[in-house]
A and B are shown apart, each in its own frame.
Chain A
Amino acid sequence: MNYALLVQGAPYSQQAAHSALRFAHALIARGHTLGTIFFYHDGVYNASRLATPPQDEPHLVEAWRRLHEDHGTSLLVCIAAALRRGIIDEREARRHGKAGYAVESPFELTGLGQLLDVHSNHDRLVTFSP
């Protein structure tokens, strides 16, 4: 089956993102496809390329990126939730005159409408929220 996950919890604040990651690995181990992860609300912090956790702790941003590299999972980030939290990509940084940026490929800023498409294009959508 083709799965999608909706992640609404920030990394290292609540358990949601960690639960989602463990679920992601488990569903792939069972032979399913993880087509998309959609990051919404505080979940957008999972997309920050600047995240630098201690080396002996799980690196969530890196783990999401690896899902994309190893399994082709799309990593979609709600643009409205992200911009207001300072989670912007290079293009948005230029547009708003900011010196730095926090989002880079394979994470993609996208509209909330994409979540509706994700819902209809996948067999299962499972929400992980704080």
Chain B
Amino acid sequence: MLLHILNRSPASSRVPLDTLRAMGDNDWLLLIEDGVYGAVGPLADEFTSIQGRVFALKEDLVSRGLENRHDATIELVDMDGFVALTEQATQTVSWY
């Protein structure tokens, strides 16, 4: 499993589309920095094809005033959880 780390919002960039195209069937996606805007509906709809494999960094949601505004299908992790995801993944790929 690869962990893809995305810091771009679907509202301002086409990088999320490239990320989705590159992701394998078992890969996971972590939204960080401005990427967390994609965790809030309706932008979260971009990621319905990989539902259940999408995470968002809680600190970055909170710092943008979006706490508790994220889509229910997206799981929140804190920095400790971010590290845990990189433990489980064989490699990470950063998209920016």
How many residues belonging to B are interface residues under a CB distance threshold of 8 Å?
A: 18
Say if the beta carbon of B11 comes within 8 Å of chain A. no
In the complex, the answer to whether B96 meets A30 with C-beta atoms within 8 Å is: no
Interface bits A1-41 vs B (CB < 8 Å: 1, else 0): 10100000000000110010011011101101000000000
In the complex, the answer to whether B96 meets A19 with C-beta atoms within 8 Å is: no
In the complex, the answer to whether B96 meets A130 with C-beta atoms within 8 Å is: yes
Say if the beta carbon of B19 comes within 8 Å of chain A. no
In the bound assembly, the distance between CA atoms of A1 and B32 in angstroms comes to 22
A-chain residues with CB within 8 Å of residue B5 when the two chains form the complex: 126-127
In the bound assembly, the distance between CA atoms of A128 and B33 in angstroms comes to 10
How many residues belonging to A are interface residues under a CB distance threshold of 8 Å?
A: 20
Tell me which residues from 28 to 70 in chain B have a Cβ below 8 Å from any Cβ of chain A: 32-34, 59-60
Interface bits B7-21 vs A (CB < 8 Å: 1, else 0): 100000000000000
CB distance from B8 to the nearest CB of A (A): 11
